[in-house]
Structure 1
Amino acid sequence: MDILSITGIEPAHAAKVSEGLQQLLADFQVYYTNLRGYHWHVRGPQFFTLHAQFEKMYDEAAEHIDEIAERLLQLGATPENRFSQYLKKSQIKEQTEVRQPSDIIPQILDSLKTLIAQERKVADLADEAGDIATSDLVSDIIDGQEKSVWMIASLLG
């Protein structure tokens, strides 16, 4: 069954939106894995607070990953599931054994900057396609991330 013929999204537009979502999926997968590492490796006097916060953040990222993959399927695309491909495509680079909050926090903010920029690109593509569902999806993600940026940046003073 051709889902797009029912939803009214032109296949050429859906393909452009899907390409942007595939990029976002790769970026989110690496971001998620980095958050897991930060959760495991963080040290110092803020350990309890940051350990719990990083878990909350990677749980939220996992939800977004699933939503993005499902939206790709709804647009007739196949979401990538190979981490080797995510690493080739992601604009976010994997981190390992980063322990100090003074190193972790700026890396998270940089990753959020990358994610938000890609989400804005996807939103623009979705708007051009008349794809309200994708626009709403990325808008909701951005809304939460902008609040996170404000809260995380507050740790830096």
Structure 2
Amino acid sequence: MKLNSIGLPSEAAQILAAELNVLLANFQIYYQNLRGLHWNIRGKRFFDLHLKFEELYNDSQIKIDLIAERVLTLDAVPLHTFEDYIKNNKLEIVKNIHKDEKAIEIIIASLSKLLTIERVILKKSGEIEDEGTNSMMSDFIAEQEKTIWMLKAWQHD
């Protein structure tokens, strides 16, 4: 079995990198959706949500970089074109959303789909003992589960 530069099975690491690229593409769509929500939100909760959406897109921008760097660490190339992002996207692409409740529903649905992708990666990274990817996915999952809980709590005011 051939190992890559960090001691993981090369073929399995390439498969894992492909899954990470799917996650990367979906995070790029999520990020852009958040930017649109941030810009277009209206209503009495504008100030709170405008800031929250900015917090979420700044966080997703950091995660995008972490994912791309992990793909590189696995000796692969991160996706970096809008064409690739659209081709690998599993999230709803939204446009001109103004209502607060609809915006929160979109974020919860997006995070739920990202969690599904991350759990696949977590399983595969565990199978090849890729602790770097495993740790990153565990951190993402825990944080996003908490965010979903908080957003769902917001829905029940």
Aligned length: 154
Moved more, 88-97 or 59-68: 88-97
| Distance (Å, rounded) in 2 between the aligned partners of 1:109 and 1:34 | 12
- 8 Å contact 1:87–1:93 — kept in the other structure? no
Residue 14 in structure 1 maps to residue 22 in structure 2: no
> Higher mean Cα deviation, 48-57 or 14-23?
14-23
Instruction: Tell me, in whole angstroms, the C-alpha distance in 2 between the residues paired with 1:154 and 1:94.
Output: 24
* TM-score (normalizing by structure 1): 0.95
Relative to structure 1, the CA distance from residue 89 to residue 5 in structure 2 (aligned partners, 3 Å threshold; closer, same or farther) is closer
State the match for 2:36 in structure 1. Answer: 37
Q: What is the distance in 1 between the residues matched to 2:150 and 2:4? A: 43
Gaps of 5+ in 1: none
| Aligned-partner Cα distance in 1 for 2:30–2:71 | 19
Q: Give the Cα–Cα distance (whole angstroms) in 1 for the partners of residues 115 and 21 of structure 2.
A: 15
Tell me the TM-score normalized by structure 2. Answer: 0.95
2:99: which partner in 1?
100
What is the RMSD of the two structures over their aligned residues, measured on CA atoms?
A: 0.9
The within-5 A match list for 1:54-73 is 54-73=53-72
**Alpha-carbon distance in 2 for matches of 1:7, 1:84:** 30
Q: 1:80 offset after TM fit, Å? A: 0.6
Deviation at 1:93, TM superposition (A): 2.5
Structure 1 residue 5, shift from structure 2 partner:
3.7
Structure-1 separation of matches of 2:82 and 2:137: 22
Distance 1:79 1:123 in 2: 18
Give 3-state SS (helix, strand or coil) of 1:7's partner. coil
Report the CA distance between 1:6 and its aligned residue: 3.9
- Helix, strand or coil at the partner of 1:76: coil
Q: How does 1:71-150 map to 2 (within 5 A)?
A: 71-150=70-149
Question: 1:155 Cα deviation (Å)?
Answer: 1.1
